Structure 1
């Protein structure tokens, strides 16, 4: 039974979903880093919010960990490269609190437009300062949207409903999607010059850090009002204070800060500044939604291999997983075969699918090939860290999907680039479930890839099989299955046989000395 730790406060429905799915769960919150390191080794899954920091040290101690699930969008508190190298899937729930966060951005925009916090404070202090709080309408104003993804598109929809004009900057926004959203796609320079209000809805990356820098704030329209409910670090906070003090920026509302909890900030007390304590996702509905989603996603992965909203591997729905499972087994065997045979000589890999395989999600098949191929370098490799290891080794990767019909109803081919040229292996599924090798380096051969095996390239000549059998028999090695293929009579032959016990180096050397043997390698699947 898989075991999950919920280490941050989460709606009780999350734990209930795990238990209903047959997963053991512990709810232990508020632990220090050292306490988490001491306990994490016994868990298969870790469900978190923003408080738990999943660092490299925590991951190093997580000997059984397979998945980290973040109930929410931001994963700044997870070392994703370290998780990938460890083979741990990292998931988030990007849609569970989208509406809530978008609504908070709109609420802060209105608060800035009408100076609501200061007006409230003044009125409750017994003053009646109608002339002091002269606001602005949002109708017919231009909203500059930095980031037009899921949350940004909801903000745009609400703003259009308020009769605002929306100009969006997002490198990934296509012209077609902009038309569909009803926004104008613009450059960052255009947005800064034209926007009356600016809202940010982008993750924090090297390219977005301080996207509203001192230089860019200076390019904004005088009197602009800025809202950030996305991530701390998108705005240069010191530069924003200068712009507020000078009056160039009329108002700013931040729900997120570079350092959180933000118990102090140079922005605090600045006229025109509004702050909230990271409330973007803080509604009852959002907290329930993300708790349910993260529990369902993690349970699907631990029980069936389904992968949803993963940040370091391709998505694979719970419905897809059973269909793809035999293909992934075949792909991993093919990758393992070519990896063991060619090893360090491999400089690139191409993965081709045709027939029924071409109708499936190819990304998990690719991941399985790489997992098998990279296992020659690491005994802890899996579909998560295999692409990471392949990239680390500088392997070129190519995926090809064929619509053509071939000799088999479904086929997966793995071709590797080596100094000796391209070499490929291919396999199919028998009865739509049983992986079977059908070709190795241009030689037709049908073989199961399982357990301990011996791969031999020899000259096709009478008496060889007898000599090989005698050699193995004398060493006390029993043959399980025997698969033979050849290019032509009397030419080069390929032999794959499974054995009940491993072939040691001494026996392998003895086989290599048999007349006609060109090479002999022990394999393991």
Structure 2
């Protein structure tokens, strides 16, 4: 059955057609996002939901979305989506961070000009029949210092435009490397230095607990007298009341705001102040940007629903369409390894360590780890997936670590998963053969080669004669056919393990017969999703 997508906000007809052209059933209901009750009624029918800012994807809506696999936001901001709730339900949330970068950056530059030359007030005065030439004394931006807070997709474009306007550009961004700063032609500085040196400050960071109110009364005290503040990023990054006080006192020379703490903004402490330019969240409002993000989100959602490719996901590692064919078998391997450990471990897991050896160390290990964690807790939570698993594991307080290392065995690459509980440590390793199928290659430090099947039995025993006959006879009498039999031991007469690939489920009564033998320590039936 073809995936079904609901478009609940205004997207271009071209974007809607992309879904149709790819064979996805799409319902275009651009006003539905504003009707919470009706949206909640119908959301259970859809695999995908494409939105802008009008649709609020709340926890309540997510609870009703039984089939939903992906939410696609045409735009960069996902403030209207409950990311934690979506992650817990295993729903991927995508945005389009690049589609409106140019448009938003240009708006910030336009704000710099508007505030520097008091253009809106001068326009209003002139059109009112006044000629107040001396009232609107401006300032040049050439040679001035532009402080960019956040030098990512949009901030880097603003920085480039500032350099083109012959401004000195300094940037504060904890994630900006010295190499990237040199490449952009900006000087990387700490926040306090930026505040003290900048003539113009422009913000281009997401709203987080760390960035909320980043420009407040204390920060404004550190700024130059006459500084001008531009915010085209997110409302709430600047404390509007504090900025209004600084403007009234004459310390801040002006401000340009496209975003506000409360939107729609019908009132603000900034409204009505001299040399404050306000616009109604127009940063992404160009014909080109609106079209770009709509087309981009349609492509991304289609690629995921049809091919499993994950692009620009907020809550899951991206998997490109190019790497998906090579990565997919190892995603399945990681899931199988986690599934094995989850099924054979009865006590609460305290720590998980995943080692990527050889070629697997160069793969998209974030995706592989997510798959391994999904397998690990599948025996406890049936509907877990790569999105929800990392959240659930974190909530359980499990300590997670990853290691990458060069090739250390005869295999070009393999994955090893080790878990620790209060009582024990257990490890399992596997690889993918040329046929694309996962194989177990080591369990409890014991080498072996075992094909993965839907139904398997795992036994631990002392290495004594007759164990193969015991298992074969017991399963034969129970009418269970053994498709493949893999063995391993740590040393002659030491500990041994067996993995039996069988044609059907094995009941506890059969396992009890096996463990009646004093040399058998344990026998456990396992089930794997091998499709």
> TM-score scaled to structure 2, two decimals?
0.94
What is the CA-CA distance between 1:382 and the residue it aligns to?
1.0
Q: Assess, with a 3 A threshold, how the Cα gap between structure 1 residues 490 and 220 changes in structure 2: closer, same or farther.
A: closer
Deviations 1:439-459 (A, max 9, x none): 211222222222222211123
What is the CA-CA distance between 1:195 and the residue it aligns to?
1.6
Aligned to 1:27: 28
Matched-pair contact (CA < 8 Å) for 1:485–1:493: yes
1:180 & 1:428 partners in 2: Cα distance? 40
Deviations 1:433-474 (A, max 9, x none): 111112211222222222222211123444444444444444
What is the CA-CA distance between 1:427 and the residue it aligns to?
1.5
2:30 counterpart of 1:38: no
2:445 & 2:197 partners in 1: Cα distance? 63
1:519 & 1:138 partners in 2: Cα distance? 77
Aligned to 1:249: 252
Aligned to 2:9: 8
2:341 counterpart of 1:338: yes
Matched-pair contact (CA < 8 Å) for 2:338–2:417: yes
The structure 1 residue matched to 2:447, chosen from 429, 435, 444, is 444
Aligned to 1:493: 496
What is the CA-CA distance between 1:432 and the residue it aligns to?
4.4
The structure 2 residue matched to 1:72, chosen from 69, 75, 100, is 75
1:520 & 1:503 partners in 2: Cα distance? 11
Aligned to 1:101: 104
Aligned to 1:118: 121
Matched-pair contact (CA < 8 Å) for 1:48–1:70: yes
What is the CA-CA distance between 1:489 and the residue it aligns to?
4.2
What is the CA-CA distance between 1:236 and the residue it aligns to?
0.7
Aligned to 2:400: 397
Q: What is the SS of the residue equivalent to 1:521? A: strand
What is the CA-CA distance between 1:420 and the residue it aligns to?
4.8
2:455 & 2:108 partners in 1: Cα distance? 60
Matched-pair contact (CA < 8 Å) for 1:55–1:78: yes
What is the CA-CA distance between 1:158 and the residue it aligns to?
0.8
What is the CA-CA distance between 1:327 and the residue it aligns to?
1.0
The structure 1 residue matched to 2:148, chosen from 145, 162, 186, is 145
Q: Assess, with a 3 A threshold, how the Cα gap between structure 1 residues 409 and 181 changes in structure 2: closer, same or farther.
A: closer
Q: How many residues of Structure 1 are paired with residues of Structure 2 in the alignment?
A: 525
Q: What is the SS of the residue equivalent to 1:153? A: helix
Which has the higher mean CA deviation after the structures are superposed, 432-441 or 148-157?
A: 432-441
Which has the higher mean CA deviation after the structures are superposed, 509-518 or 144-153?
A: 509-518
Which has the higher mean CA deviation after the structures are superposed, 413-422 or 295-304?
A: 413-422
2:158 counterpart of 1:158: no
Deviations 1:45-81 (A, max 9, x none): 1111111111111111111111111111111111111
Which has the higher mean CA deviation after the structures are superposed, 463-472 or 265-274?
A: 463-472
What is the CA-CA distance between 1:174 and the residue it aligns to?
2.1
Aligned to 1:409: 412
Deviations 1:115-164 (A, max 9, x none): 11111111111111111111111111111111111111111111111111
Aligned to 2:131: 128
What is the CA-CA distance between 1:495 and the residue it aligns to?
2.0
Matched-pair contact (CA < 8 Å) for 1:304–1:322: no
Matched-pair contact (CA < 8 Å) for 1:343–1:376: no
1:3 & 1:475 partners in 2: Cα distance? 45
Matched-pair contact (CA < 8 Å) for 1:113–1:138: yes
Is there any run of 5+ residues in structure 1 with no aligned partner, and where?
none
Matched-pair contact (CA < 8 Å) for 1:145–1:166: yes
Aligned to 1:265: 268
The structure 2 residue matched to 1:53, chosen from 51, 56, 75, is 56
Q: In the TM superposition, what are the counterparts of 1:80-479 in structure 2 within 5 Å?
A: 80-404=83-407, 406-479=409-482
Give RMSD over aligned pairs.
Answer: 1.9
1:443 & 1:190 partners in 2: Cα distance? 57
What is the CA-CA distance between 1:337 and the residue it aligns to?
0.7
Q: What is the SS of the residue equivalent to 2:345? A: helix
Matched-pair contact (CA < 8 Å) for 2:215–2:238: yes
2:473 & 2:219 partners in 1: Cα distance? 79
Deviations 1:219-275 (A, max 9, x none): 222222111000000011111222222222221111011111112223222222211
What is the CA-CA distance between 1:383 and the residue it aligns to?
1.0
Q: Assess, with a 3 A threshold, how the Cα gap between structure 1 residues 292 and 442 changes in structure 2: closer, same or farther.
A: same
Q: What is the SS of the residue equivalent to 1:140? A: coil
Q: What is the SS of the residue equivalent to 2:347? A: helix
